[in-house]
Amino acid sequence: MNIRIKPEAEKALKGGRPVVALESTIISHGMPYPQNVQTAMQVEKIVRDHGGVPVTIGIIDGVGVVGMSEEEIEEFGRRGMSIPKVSRRDLPVVFAERSWGATTVATTMILAAKAGVEFFVTGGIGGVHRGAETTFDVSADLEELARTNVTVICAGAKAILDLPKTLEVLETKGVPVLGYQTSELPAFYTRTSGLKVDCCLKDAAHAAAVVRAKREFGLDGGILIANPIPEEYSMDPAAIQKVIDQALAEMDEKGIKGKECTPFLLAKVAEITEGRSLEANIRLVFNNAAVGTEIAKEYYR
């Protein structure tokens, strides 16, 4: 199997201790160097401070690395967008060619599940893109959530997406969408979307109990736990929507399609907001790392 697991994480998994997966696309495509490396290392520190073992996942020389070293994370940050984003369909080629790959939500889930890691913390998942009724542009993240046994803690789907359609697809796929201390789906940069989740989780113990119930019953597939961005970093919904509309219009003008859409839109939103959206993105990831690790601790308690 083309996987290398960090010995510390392997020992923790065998001992029933909480291990938390982290993705690498946020490093290579999420923000510029060296901020990307600093953020990645800070997220790992937060997981450790809350009693978990962090495993940042990426593909190096055709091997899925579950738990990259500091040096490997640094190299990911330096190479940046020259490392291609890798989804499920790309894995055979990347493995065969022994190349590098930045794992999306979908591939991070795949490699985490192969290693036996239940919990995965990220910023926001992909989903149904706006205009998907004509483009059929739907993220592979949704299909992975339907089939792979990993619990994903995030701040909802990225706000650049069609959130109502994303929820509809998740419902069709049988993926539980749970709000952490909220009854609404958070909208990434903002705490609310006006869309209801399947269940409001009271605390980490409640979340862990739901995950355990699904696993013990043998229901395959992921679980989505949506954790709102902290109030002090939440952006004004009307203002951020105006920015997103502007970024979408420019994307259409430039003819950008497929997996290049999300990196372009996030970068454009950060540019228009003069970095405020990027700061919000970083803060919500930090918050998700803390909450996700607490849930993992309760699960393995």
Which member of 6, 74, 118, 158 is catalytic?
Answer: 158
In Å, how far are 175, 206, 236 from 146, measured between CA atoms?
Answer: 6, 22, 32
> In 136-182, where does DSSP find H-type helix?
140-147, 163-172
Please give the Cα distance from 126 to 113 (Å, whole number): 19
Please give the Cα distance from 151 to 21 (Å, whole number): 10
Respond yes or no: is residue 158 known to be catalytic: yes
Respond yes or no: is residue 297 known to be catalytic: no
> In the chain, where does DSSP find H-type helix?
7-14, 25-28, 35-49, 70-79, 91-97, 105-115, 132-135, 140-147, 163-172, 204-217, 237-254, 261-272, 276-300
In Å, how far are 26, 59, 99 from 84, measured between CA atoms?
Answer: 12, 10, 9
> Three-state DSSP class for 161?
coil
According to DSSP, the residues that pair with 19 across neighbouring strands are 53
Tokens of 243: 């920015």
Residues taking part in catalysis:
23, 158
